[in-house]
């Protein structure tokens, strides 16, 4: 398959010719389900890759008729990255989405999918980076947290921000009360960002990303 990508670093639309999407997951897959439930996105979801066997995400992929793979870490990030990169290439993947994927992949994947790789994070970046955004916001006593969808770069939760939405933290909030409200926002923002990327409506000027000509 011929893939043509125009991603102007000096400013302009990020355009992807080809809409085969791989979703990287580690757990229950509610964000994967939000993508599968979007009729504009479902035909583009071509592969699900999990770093763990037996997770609910794999059942969701099977129920939707989407091929899936389990690529478990072996203690070597370079090896995991190489195996994921090979799987993406073998499936002719154009766009990658991390939807609760708890692994950091190296430049073997980042360089190939730069500006074509989205991640959803349960906090308002740059605050509370890393794997425990909800827990860390509660532990810090924050009054506001939220959700960020961003482009993946070489760092951990450091890429250009595509969408953000705040979620107030109530005085009596605990994990079990806050996390569902975070999920509700994730399930809206991630499909919106992916639709924009696939439609060529993400416009990047340095680190600033906007969505052009969006139908609301």
Q: Which structure tokens are listed for 37?
A: 């439930």
Neighbours of 172 (CB within 10 A): 6
Note if 121 is an active site residue. yes
Helices (H), 69-132: 77-90, 107-113
Q: Which residues of 54-87 are buried (b: 16+ CB within 10 A; e: fewer)?
A: ebebbebbeebebebbebeeeeeeeebbebbbee
Q: Side-chain half-sphere of 207: how many Cα atoms within 13 Å? A: 6
Q: Out of 121, 150, 183, 187, pick the active-site residue.
A: 121
Among residues 116, 92, 98, 152, the alpha carbon closest in space to that of 13 is found at 116
Q: Which structure tokens are listed for 75?
A: 């203690």
Helices (H), 56-174: 56-64, 77-90, 107-113, 133-140
Contact 26, 55 (CB under 8 A): yes
> To the nearest 5 percent, what fractions of the chain are helix, strand and coil?
35, 25, 40
d(CA 46, CA 121): 22
Indicate which residues carry an active-site annotation.
121
């Amino acid at each position: 398959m011929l893939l043509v990508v125009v991603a102007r670093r000096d400013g302009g639309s990020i355009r992807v010719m080809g809409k085969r999407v791989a979703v990287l997951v580690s757990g229950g897959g509610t964000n994967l389900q939000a993508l599968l439930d979007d009729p504009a996105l479902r035909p583009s979801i071509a592969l699900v890759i999990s770093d763990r066997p037996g997770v609910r995400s794999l059942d969701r992929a099977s129920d939707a008729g989407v091929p899936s793979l389990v690529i478990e870490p072996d203690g070597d990030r370079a090896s995991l990255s190489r195996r994921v990169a090979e799987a993406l290439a073998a499936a002719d993947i154009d766009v990658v989405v991390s939807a609760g994927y708890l692994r950091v992949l190296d430049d073997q994947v980042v360089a190939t999918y730069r500006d074509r790789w989205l991640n959803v994070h349960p906090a308002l970046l740059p605050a509370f980076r890393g794997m425990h955004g909800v827990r860390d916001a509660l532990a810090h006593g924050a009054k506001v947290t939220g959700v960020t969808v961003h482009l993946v770069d070489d760092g951990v939760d450091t890429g250009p921000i595509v969408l953000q939405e705040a979620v107030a933290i109530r005085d009596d909030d605990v994990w079990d009360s806050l996390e569902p409200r975070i999920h509700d926002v994730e399930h809206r923002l991630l499909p919106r960002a992916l639709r924009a990327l696939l439609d060529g409506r993400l416009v990047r000027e340095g680190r600033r990303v906007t969505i052009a000509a969006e139908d609301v």
